[in-house]
Structure 1
Amino acid sequence: MRFGAPADSVELQRMTWPEPAPGQVLIRVHAAGAGYPDAMMAAGHFPLMGDPPFGLGEEAAGEVVAVPSGSRFSVGDQVTGITGFLDGWGGYAEYTYLREESTIRIPAGMTTEQAGGFPIAFRTAYAGLVDRAPIEAGEVLLVLGAAGSSGGAALQLGKALGATVIAVAGSQEKLDFCKRHGADHVLNHRSGDLPARVADITGGRGADVVFDPVGGETAAAALAAIARNGRVVLIGVASGKPVPLDSMDMLLRNYSAVGVLATPGSPAAEAVVWQRLADLADRGALSTPVGRVYDFREVPEMISRQTAPAPGKTVVRITSE
């Protein structure tokens, strides 16, 4: 591919997949999760990506077809994980490599589409709400873009960790979606005074943690609703603009901002993260809120829609099981 509009830049290529190297697992892809980063990559705005061509699709689920010696997986295992997209092996393909340290067997009861859209969003939410700005039971979590991929995952993880969750979205359809997936309170950022409504819900205290994959004006309004000693978790810029941080305001109200990039830690640390996520999924506390499912041939159209997606996690069906 080349950078540009998805209809012009995204193209099919015939490839071969060598035997997986240590740390890789080769799978036949059944479904792949999608999101706003796809649009950034296609346009050439994704900060970690080099020059094209490269493979699109950060996560995928499917059947293991080859493993290196010493792998903890076996041929035939049904798994989901993060692809080697930074090395050119994306999930929108018949086969792809997963990073073994970021791969798990698909939890019981999880559909193929749910599995395909599970790893990135929930690993990102975990990095924000456990690793970087730990949310504690009883605290208030304000989730921006709560009907989207990472926002929907943060909503569920926050609930699983015992927080009261206020979900923020931009339409009644999206607010209804958030309510169905466990939000305690829902707010439309397009109507009314967001800080005043958060203050009303929290008895004037504000939100302990703001989970921000959006940036821009919505995030700026959310910062006005943060509690003293609160934390804002910077996940992304779906609005196209980062949240404007005022260091004097941070000082006077004693809150902090942390950036979150869910890169792997040590193999031992990653194993703990993924086991905890898998356990929560097995218990039904986490479930990918699947939205629209696209066919493989619709990938360019799908990417073009990721700047304003419908509620839920977008997933691409690659091959039948």
Structure 2
Amino acid sequence: MFSGRAWRLVKFGDPREAVELQEMTWEEPAAGQLLIRVRTAGAGLPDAMMAAGHFPLLGQPPFGLGEEAAGEVVAVPPGSRFAVGDQVTGITGFLEGWGGYADYTYLREGSTIRIPAGMTDEEAGGFPIGFRTAYAALVERAPLQAGQTLLVLGAAGSSGATATQLGKALGAKVIAVAGSQEKLEFAARHGADEVVNYRTDDLAARIADLTGGQGVDLIFDPVGGETAATALKGIARGGRIALAGLASGAPVALDSMDMLLRNYTAVGVLATPLAPDAEAAAWDHLAGLAEKGAIAVPLGRVHAFDEVPRMIAEQTTPGAGKSVVRVAAR
């Protein structure tokens, strides 16, 4: 048994009031789990959605927050492919109430990898969710081909910035859409070929200009709402929109007649585990790209452990890049 601290949501509401630091114990992991001592944990909008009671996959509090974490394995079940002492990063057992903002947490073994060579703790803590979601969108659900054009909404956010990098690694031209000069510059630094400010530019006109009137082959949409609806005006015939989130507060409204007349497709993206062999192949592909330097976590702010409640509240209007919490030193 292991003992330590964990930030837990005790009621739905403002995280600064509803998230409390508690003493917890962790038993030996069950089959399909690993127990790690956490060094870093990735943050994102889902944390704020969970705190507000707007995350559809969870029940009532209390439960832990933090979907991803990195650290050292301290316990494994019989037959695990990991060993005590391995340095790993993966998706937490947050659906069972165990989050990453804690001294220890359980990881899903099938959604865990050994930390790629050269990756820092902060990068490792923010690697799994963003890149696994981008992979689900760009490889599994709406496969992106080399030479195609990818439009990324929310391109400076944790999901958008990973999709930008993975799109480039897959050989696409990437147009990044964001709402400030700072975020556009961030997207350009992380691989975007072109950038568009949806607040000041005519988004549909810019898409037409940048694609020679042909439109974009794929839209990666973690934003929804009016921005996504406007972007759809610039989708190519036979194009796809990958629905990966609703940072705007509402999903994009789809017009089935417009889809029919312009022959485009909308696909939902939820990075749930596949059959074991397929899931392992996805993680191996991502780890290999990271090892080669083709993708890297687009780090934003690194927060201290005692900042977790305020950090979660800020995820509704985050700055550029992936927010990460430093839980403990190596």
Instruction: Tell me whether the two structures share a fold, i.e. TM-score over 0.5.
Output: yes
Per residue, is there more strand in 1 or in 2? 2
Aligned partner (choices 24, 38, 50) of residue 15 of structure 1: 24
Match of 1:139 in 2: 148
Partner of 2:253: 244
Q: Say whether residues 1:267 and 2:276 are aligned partners.
A: yes
Q: Find the partner of 2:84 among 53, 75, 86.
A: 75
CA distance in 2, matches of 1:18, 1:242: 39
The equivalent residue for 1:119 is 128
In 2: Cα distance, 1:111 partner to 1:217 partner: 37
2:20 partner SS: coil
Separation (CA, whole Å) in 1 of partners of 2:80 and 2:237: 47
Q: Counterpart of 2:63 in 1: which secondary structure?
A: coil
2:100 matched to 1:91? yes
One-letter identity of the residue aligned with 2:107? L
Partner of residue 11, structure 2: 2
Cα offset, 1:192, TM superposition: 2.1
Q: TM-score, normalised by structure 1?
A: 0.99
Residue equivalent to 2:193: 184
**Residues 117-266 of structure 1: pairs in structure 2 closer than 5 A:** 117-266=126-275
Runs of 4+ in 1 over 3 A off after TM superposition: none
Aligned to 2:288: 279
SS in 1 for 2:58: coil
Partner of 1:289: 298
C-alpha separation between the residues in 2 aligned to 1:102 and 1:20? 15
Alpha-carbon RMSD across the aligned residues, in angstroms, is 0.5
C-alpha deviation, 1:241, in angstroms: 1.1
CA distance in 1, matches of 2:276, 2:142: 21
Distance in 2, Cα, partners of 1:19 & 1:160: 39
- Give 1:301's aligned residue: 310
Equivalents in 2 of 1:292, 1:284: separation in Å? 21
Summarize deviations over 1:118-171 as a string: whole Å, max 9, x none.
000000000000000000000000000000011000000000000000000000
| 1:47 is the counterpart of 2:41 | no
Take 1:248 and 1:187, find their aligned partners in 2: how far apart are those partners? 28
The whole-number CA distance in structure 1 between the counterparts of 2:140 and 2:270 is 11
Deviations 1:193-236 (A, max 9, x none): 10110110110001100000000111011000100000000000
Q: What residue number does 2:5 align with?
A: none
Aligned-partner Cα distance in 2 for 1:186–1:93: 37
Task: Supply the AA of the counterpart residue of 2:193.
Answer: D
Letter in 1 for 2:328: T
2:183 maps to amino acid: K
CA shift, 1:267, in A, is: 1.0
- Secondary structure, counterpart of 1:13 in structure 2: strand
Q: Distance in 2 between matches of 1:41 and 1:266?
A: 27
Give, in whole Å, the separation in 2 of the partners of 1:16 and 1:300. Answer: 21
- 1:164-187 CA distances to partner (integer Å, 9 max, x unpaired)? 000000000000001101100000
SS where residue 155 of structure 2 aligns?
A: coil
1:64 and 2:73 are equivalent in the alignment: yes
Name the SS for the 1:151 alignment partner. helix
Q: Secondary structure at the match of 1:15?
A: strand
Q: Deviations over 1:78-106 (max 9, x none)?
A: 00000000001100000000000000000
- Residues matched between the structures, number: 321
Normalising by structure 2, we get a TM-score of 0.97
> C-alpha distance in 1, partners of 2:251/2:196?
21
In the alignment, the residues of structure 1 paired with residue 188 and residue 160 of structure 2 have an alpha-carbon distance, to the nearest angstrom, of: 13
* Structure 1 unpaired stretches of 5+: none
Counterpart Cα distance in 1 of 2:156 and 2:201: 19
2:40 corresponds to which residue? Answer: 31
Measure the CA separation in 2 of the matches of 1:184 and 1:93. Answer: 38
Amino acid at match of 1:129: L
Output the CA distance in 1 between the equivalents of 2:62 and 2:276: 29
